[in-house]
Chains A and B, each alone.
Chain A
Amino acid sequence: MSVSSTSSIETELAKVSFRLKGGLFPLTLLELHYYDSRQLQRDLHFKVSEAPGFFQQTPVIIGFESFSGDFRDVQLAELQQILRDHGMIAVALKGASTSLEAQAKECGLAIMAAKSRTPKNKNSGTEVNVEPTSVVADQPAVQSVPNVANSKVISTPVRSGQQVYAPGGDLIVLAAVSAGAEILADGNIHVYAPLRGRALAGVQGNESAQVFCHSLEAELISIAGHFKLVEDLKNEHWKQSVRISLQEQALCIAPLVNAGR
């Protein structure tokens, strides 16, 4: 969408080697409390042994917002290597000191502003934008991780104005999702009640994600960024039990067989 130089001529379009797309991706935040390379290696080793296979080329952001040690102790290149040894790829720093930001440039890490601070560094802005694309590149590796354990089950109604997100797994909602509410999941979305709000499955780009609901009354359904609004949804299987999947880049709505009503 931001490729403004492309003309409408088909041949011109074919020449463009890429397309820029915006996207929101949840990332793991590794919050450093203090920096001691030996201690960190030991702690990481223990953490990884708890869930072997969880960290495989996993992009992480190194957070310094709760950092209480001395910033001068931090050796980013060393830290990067330690993380890599444990299956994590550092992509950015968050809330780091200015001295660290200089190191980050050398190591090729993006810089993200801390929550309380306004982004002051104009140069870092471009780097931040680069970061989500690198996540997309790592996507297949992330998908290979079994995400069953990360399912989120919500048994209370999701009201207008509320947002529920299941990172890294499926979202299962046992009560109604009101108009004006938004539910998101990296995996599938199941709603065992009327779905009247917005449902976004596969928000990390998982095109095999699906949406299941007891009664389709949604304002918006999206799978991996491909969406349909209420006007289009109303045409087929409205207020019926349905399963929505992505087929050939388009949302396909099919009735749930033997689904009661």
Chain B
Amino acid sequence: MAKIIVVTSGKGGVGKTTSSAAISSGLAMRGKKTAVIDFDIGLRNLDLIMNCERRVVYDFVNVINGEATLKQALIKDKRCPNLFILPASQTRDKDALTVEGVERILNELAADGFEYIICDSPAGIEHGAFMALYFADAAIVVANPEVSSVRDSDRILGILQSKSRAAELGKTVEEMLLLTRYNPERVEKGEMLGVEDVQEILATKLLGVIPESETVLKASNQGTPVIHDDQSPAGQAYSDAVSRLLGEEVEHRFITVQQKGMFSRLFRRSA
């Protein structure tokens, strides 16, 4: 059975696509056959971040409309042999997505032996976002540590537990919070919400905290998901998140200000 995970947030620009790319790459690196689908029809970005935009021939909407087969549209990632990308259409709009069409493609992927299907949701709570979350078994809600992002995440969690197919069947969607752009120094100065503040508002399992880092932007521009950079804190944090997604218990890192010497050792232990 394939596990369908939606990466969503409500608010735009918080790092959904970056996180989708990193997490799907991470799962593939652990040997899981993974597909990542860009639901942001009309504003496709995932192929850019995955550095496969030049290899896009057919897209998600072509497959839904029967103009291409799934095999033709899936792009094999150059770095991870287990990772396949289904890009969004640049020319259509989100109304091209239908419940029946999306369901058929998800079923085809599952039948094809995919273990994880990551749905990269567009921002907002409209049709595209709804299509991305409707079939989800689990949701990774991406939020930045600021009030409006957290409020939107709360809203999307509500939609998830009331409008998704799982909710219609009386089940719950597994929810996980991924806090991105986290800056412990700014949290300490009171300029940013802390992990505890966000956790208190959302009351959801914490999948990971990704520290704010230049390497994330650089990786996106280069088209290399940041998880491949195992030297950077952001890459390591995504790697930890993937471990937690696979059920491992990993302690959270990068949520306190790094201090030198003896203090840091003391803080580590108590963190």
Could you tell me if A178 and B154 are in contact, using CB atoms closer than 8 angstroms? Answer: yes
Interface residue? A22 (CB, 8 A): no
Q: Determine the main DSSP class of A at the interface with B.
A: loop
Q: Please indicate which of the listed interface residues A158, A159, A162, A181 has the most CB atoms of chain B within 10 Å of its own CB.
A: A159
Interface residue? A161 (CB, 8 A): yes
Measured between beta carbons, the chain A residues less than 8 angstroms from B158 are 158-162, 178, 181
Cross-chain contact of A180 among B151, B162, B172, B202 (Cβ < 8 A): B151
A157 to B202, CA, bound (A): 8
Cross-chain contact of B162 among A162, A178, A179, A194 (Cβ < 8 A): A162
Cross-chain contact of B172 among A156, A161, A162 (Cβ < 8 A): A156
Could you tell me if A161 and B203 are in contact, using CB atoms closer than 8 angstroms? Answer: no
Counting residue pairs across A and B whose Cβ atoms lie within 8 Å, the total is 35
Could you tell me if A176 and B159 are in contact, using CB atoms closer than 8 angstroms? Answer: no
Which of chain B's residues has its CB closest to A158's CB? B158
Could you tell me if A179 and B172 are in contact, using CB atoms closer than 8 angstroms? Answer: no
Measured between beta carbons, the chain A residues less than 8 angstroms from B172 are 156
Interface residue? B155 (CB, 8 A): yes
Could you tell me if B161 and A160 are in contact, using CB atoms closer than 8 angstroms? Answer: no
A161 touching B155 in the complex, CB below 8 Å, given contacts A156-B172, A175-B203: yes
Measured between beta carbons, the chain B residues less than 8 angstroms from A175 are 203
Could you tell me if A159 and B151 are in contact, using CB atoms closer than 8 angstroms? Answer: no
Could you tell me if B203 and A180 are in contact, using CB atoms closer than 8 angstroms? Answer: no
A175 to B157, CA, bound (A): 14
Which of chain B's residues has its CB closest to A176's CB? B203
Task: For the complex formed, measure the closest distance between the CB of A103 and the CB atoms of chain B, giving whole angstroms.
Answer: 39
Interface string of A164-205 (1 = CB under 8 A from B): 000000000001101111000000000000101000000000
Cross-chain contact of A179 among B151, B159, B203 (Cβ < 8 A): B151
Interface residue? B257 (CB, 8 A): no
Which of chain A's residues has its CB closest to B10's CB? A160
Measured between beta carbons, the chain A residues less than 8 angstroms from B201 are 176, 178, 196
A162 to B159, CA, bound (A): 8
Q: Please indicate which of the listed interface residues B158, B172, B201 has the most CB atoms of chain A within 10 Å of its own CB.
A: B158
Q: Please indicate which of the listed interface residues A160, A178, A196 has the most CB atoms of chain B within 10 Å of its own CB.
A: A160
Task: For the complex formed, measure the closest distance between the CB of A155 and the CB atoms of chain B, giving whole angstroms.
Answer: 11
A159 to B155, CA, bound (A): 6
Interface string of A240-257 (1 = CB under 8 A from B): 000000000000000000
Q: Which of B152-176 contact A (CB under 8 A)?
A: 154-155, 157-159, 161-162, 172
A157 to B159, CA, bound (A): 12
A179 to B201, CA, bound (A): 9
A178 to B154, CA, bound (A): 8
Q: Please indicate which of the listed interface residues B154, B157, B172, B200 has the most CB atoms of chain A within 10 Å of its own CB.
A: B154
Could you tell me if B154 and A160 are in contact, using CB atoms closer than 8 angstroms? Answer: yes
Task: For the complex formed, measure the closest distance between the CB of B145 and the CB atoms of chain A, giving whole angstroms.
Answer: 17
A179 to B148, CA, bound (A): 11
Measured between beta carbons, the chain B residues less than 8 angstroms from A178 are 154, 158, 201
Measured between beta carbons, the chain A residues less than 8 angstroms from B203 are 157, 175-176
A161 touching B161 in the complex, CB below 8 Å, given contacts A156-B172, A175-B203, A178-B201: no
Which of chain A's residues has its CB closest to B158's CB? A159
Measured between beta carbons, the chain B residues less than 8 angstroms from A179 are 151, 154
Task: For the complex formed, measure the closest distance between the CB of A120 and the CB atoms of chain B, giving whole angstroms.
Answer: 31
Measured between beta carbons, the chain A residues less than 8 angstroms from B155 are 159-161, 180
Which of chain B's residues has its CB closest to A179's CB? B151
A180 to B148, CA, bound (A): 12
| Interchain residue pairs A-B with the least CB separation, the first 10 | A159-B158, A160-B155, A160-B154, A162-B158, A161-B155, A178-B154, A161-B158, A159-B157, A159-B154, A157-B203
